[in-house]
Structures are given as structure tokens and as C-alpha cells.
Amino acid sequence: MAPSARRLGLWGPPTSTLDWCEENYEVTVYVAEFWNTVSNLIMILPPLFGALQTFRNGLEFRYICSFLGLAAVGVGSWCFHMTLLYEMQLLDELPMIYSTCVFVYCLYECFKQEKTVGLIPITLLFVFSMSVSLVYLQWKEPVFHQVMYGVLVACLVMRSIFIVTWVYPWLRPLCYASLAIFMLGFLLWNIDNIFCEQLRYCCVDCMTTANGNLKTVALSACRSDPPSSSAEQRSSSFVGFGPRCTSNRRGPADVGRRRGRCQSCFGPAGAGEPEEAPPSGRR
């Protein structure tokens, strides 16, 4: 369920089709989801440093593009979580497709002769990314984007497993560690999606000392991608699989909220307990 829409900020009412469990404009009126925004620094600064080092070491241009693509996703995600505007959502989600296509190209062409260009895979990936973009612009269904991104991630995973199994077996620990980080992020992402309502509103009385730190679940899920991507970049000049954090589907705000006791987080409140009125204003 989407966070409360009563607290509006600089960017006005959210227009995006997705939202996270974090309260909107809780920290400042200038940033809709503060923690989901600033945590994107880990997706911007390290990739920029990686691109600079790749250039200094004289590696191929495709590897520079892979780092810059990851940084572009971080910038887009920053803009999206800062504004929760649909245009910024596209700036976050579409670069995910484009950059992952670059990752796929790097992995599947990593054994070709240096400085050669594979026109066939470039053409196929270009047609795929443009087709996804056109369909997604017309059919604003987040699940479609997630499935298409998952297809690219599956290609990366299969290629990575092949490389560390048959070509560079000494890279298995690094590859499997990045895969484990990916799976952990996917798990936390689902916890945030499925149990947001229970975690934020049923257990709020037991979590008051945490001051809303349940948002770290979302942060951990979102930012599990850069460590896994960075680890894989080291494993075969580049790899970058991991789900980029998309968000909960937006629903009517403040529907069915209740602040029950902790033992009723995943069920109804105790027998005979009257329901409390929905919270009003800032907690």
C-alpha cells in the first residue's frame, strides 16, 4: 500500500505508478522518499570511479559504458524517489533496461578478440530495448517492466554460471557471493511489498523507538544491486545482475489502516478490542 498522501511537498502529489513503503516527505519537503533517495549515492559514486579507472587502464569502451550505465540508473532512481513523478519513474526504469543490455553484451562478448564489435548482438539488444520501451510507454504496467528486466537478468546469471564453471572456476566464490546478495535483496524487496501494511501500521507501537527504521528493509533491497553488480564486474571484466528496486503498486491512501498491538501484526487485533481511529498528521 502506498504511504500517506496527506503530507505533500515541493513536487506535489505523486503521479508515479509505483511507490515504496517509506513515508513520503517525512524528512524534508524537498524530497519525497529521503532515505530511498540518498541511498542511491552507492549506485552513482562507485560506478563513476569504476568508469574512470577503466578509462585509465585502457580497457574497451564497452566496459566504460557498463559503469556509466549503472551510474545512470542511480541518477534516475535518485530523481524518481525524490519526486515520485511518472516522468522520473521512466528515467529510473528505462535506463535499467538499457544498461542491462550493455551488461549482457559485455558478458556474451567477453571472449571475442579485443576491440571487435559484435553487430548481431548489438542489433538484437537494441531492438529488444526499444521494443520494451515502446510497449511500456503505451502500457503502463510495472509488472511488464519487471518481467522484461528479469529476462535480461536471467541471461546474465546463466552466462555468469557458465563462465565460472567452465572458464574461470577460481571466480566461483565471487560470483556466488554476488548471487547471494541478489537473492537477499529480492527477499527483502518482497517483504517490503507484501508486509508493508502490517509492518508499518500494526507494529508501530512496538517500533516507536526505531523512529521508522523499517525503511531500512526497502533500502537494503534497493541497494543490494550495486554490491552484486560490482562483484560480478570484477569476476569477468563485468557482470551486473540484480533487481533494481521498483516499488509497491500505488493504491488508495489510508484505506483500512489500523494500529493494532504487536501480537496482531499478521492477524486481527485481540478479541473484543475496539479499532482505533486512523492516525492523523505526523507521527
Lowest mean pLDDT among 58-72, 113-127, 131-145: 113-127
Query: Is the dihedral angle over the CA atoms 124, 130, 136, 138 positive or is it negative?
Result: negative
The 3-class secondary structure across the chain, one letter per residue, is CCCCCCCCCCCCCCCCCEECCCCCCCCECCECCHHHHHHHHHHCHHHHHHHHHHHHCCCCHHHHHHHHHHHHHHHHHHHHHHHCCHHHHHHHHHHHHHHHHHHHHHHHCCCCCCCCCCHHHHHHHHHHHHHHHHHHHHCCCHHHHHHHHHHHHHHHHHHHHHHHHHHCHHHHHHHHHHHHHHHHHHHHHHHHHHHHHHHHHHCHHHCHHHCCCCHHHHHHHHCCHHHHHHHHHHHCCCCCCCCCCCCEECCCCCCCCCCCCHHHCCCCCCCCCCCCCCCCCCC
For the chain, give the percent of residues with pLDDT over 90: 54
Whether 49 and 113 have beta carbons less than 8 Å apart is answered as no
Whether 116 and 62 have beta carbons less than 8 Å apart is answered as no
pLDDT score recorded for residue 222: 52
pLDDT score recorded for residue 236: 40
Whether 22 and 193 have beta carbons less than 8 Å apart is answered as no
C-alpha cell read off for 72: 545512470
Asked whether the predicted pLDDT for residue 55 surpasses 90, the reply is yes
pLDDT score recorded for residue 200: 74
- Average of per-residue pLDDT across 86-113: 93
C-alpha to C-alpha distance for 268 and 9, rounded to whole angstroms: 34
pLDDT score recorded for residue 111: 86
Question: What pLDDT, in 10s, does the model give residues 227-236?
Answer: 454 444 444 4
Query: What value does the mean pLDDT of the chain take?
Result: 77
pLDDT score recorded for residue 92: 95
pLDDT score recorded for residue 223: 55
- Average of per-residue pLDDT across 173-185: 92
pLDDT score recorded for residue 198: 80
C-alpha to C-alpha distance for 272 and 40, rounded to whole angstroms: 45
Asked whether the predicted pLDDT for residue 57 surpasses 50, the reply is yes
Whether 251 and 1 have beta carbons less than 8 Å apart is answered as yes
For 173, phi then psi, to 5°, come to -55, -40
Record the pTM: 0.72
Measured distance between the N- and C-terminal CA atoms of the chain, rounded to whole angstroms:
18
Question: What pLDDT, in 10s, does the model give residues 200-239?
Answer: 776 555 545 444 444 444 454 555 554 454 444 444 443 3
| Other CB atoms within 10 A of residue 177 CB | 15
> Which has more confidence, 246 or 104?
104
- Average of per-residue pLDDT across 150-156: 95
- Average of per-residue pLDDT across 156-167: 93
Whether 82 and 37 have beta carbons less than 8 Å apart is answered as yes
C-alpha cell read off for 74: 542511480
